[in-house]
Amino acid sequence: MAIALVYLAIRHFDFKQLNVKLQWDVLFWVLAIFLGAGLLSDLAFDYYDLFPSLTDNFTYLGYLPYYDWNILTAIDKFTSLSRSRVLFSLMNGFYEEFFLGLLLSTNKKYRPLVLLFSTVVRTSFHTYQGFPSALVIGVVFGLFYYFLYTRMYDNILPFFLGHAFADMVGTSFFYLFIAS
């Protein structure tokens, strides 16, 4: 990361292009991004379940009657995290979404290429989680983040934090309500 920042400084990159602002509505957008990505993940994996050879036939929706819908169950997922996991997740969320922000700071006429390139990169970075998961992260989340950032909210801070939350506890809305 330090090498990338030095390179950008040498190239006289205007860091002001990256809109990173702490505003009152950031918390709303962090939650919307994190929970929206979680719901999309659950739906994508339920779609994968239509193709048994792609998954292990597990779906969170199949366990709906067994969830503990108490908000404290979800909060417990975060309060039980180690400091190192929180720090690594914050760093990784920043790094990956900083990359997206850099790509989106290019000329708007290149956006279709940026979208394609960022989808390929995001997918390839997550293939260690298995190809079905990498496709969900690269394509579904990538398009979701791209749409929100380019059409709804151009402050990249909530994307850093929403991604970090997903790295901390996983990207599934329903997983938040599985009792420990």
Residues 111-163 pLDDT 10s? 889 889 989 988 998 898 888 888 888 899 889 988 888 887 778 889 899 99
Say what the pLDDT of residue 58 is: 64
On the CB side of 137, how many CA atoms lie within 13 Å of its CA? 22
- Across 32-36, 63-67, 99-103, 151-155, the highest mean pLDDT is recorded for 32-36
Say what the pLDDT of residue 81 is: 92
Is the pTM above the cut of 0.75? yes
- At 87, the pLDDT band (50, 70, 90 cuts) reads very high
Percentage of the chain beyond pLDDT 70 is 88
pLDDT tops 80 at residue 73: yes
If phi > 0 it is left, if psi is from -120 to 50 it is alpha, else beta; for residue 116 that is alpha
Say what the pLDDT of residue 53 is: 64
Average pLDDT over residues 58-73: 79
Average pLDDT over residues 20-47: 87
- Residues 122, 136 contacting (CB under 8 angstroms): no
Distances (CA, A) of 137 to 80, 96, 98, 145, 176: 25, 12, 16, 10, 18
pLDDT tops 70 at residue 7: no
What is the spatial distance between Cα 118 and Cα 114, in angstroms, rounded to a whole number?
A: 6
Percentage of the chain beyond pLDDT 90 is 21
What is the spatial distance between Cα 178 and Cα 132, in angstroms, rounded to a whole number?
A: 23
